[in-house]
Amino acid sequence: MAHRITEECTYCGACEPECPVNAISAGEEMYVIDEDVCVDCVGYHDEAACVAVCPVDCIYKV
């Protein structure tokens, strides 16, 4: 399990500092989540921190 960012990403960068496991980084045209690192915020937050801050709701669980 992990989360994924869609092409709707506006490159705002809001999610990157919120991730407790540093799974998010700036890609060439959008931010990307390393799905091998993402833990769905289990053990850190009640809901995914990146989803909570994304202003355009472009992050979903895979």
Nearer to ligand SF4, 13 or 20 (CB): 20
Shortest CB 60 distance to ligand SF4, Å: 10
Question: Where along the sequence are the contacts to ligand SF4 (CB under 6 A)?
Answer: 3, 18-21, 23-24, 33, 38-41, 48-50
DSSP per position, 1-62: --EEE-TT-----SSGGG-TT--EEE-SSSEEE-TTT--TTTTT-SS-HHHHH-TT--EEE-
Shortest CB 29 distance to ligand SF4, Å: 18
Shortest CB 53 distance to ligand SF4, Å: 9
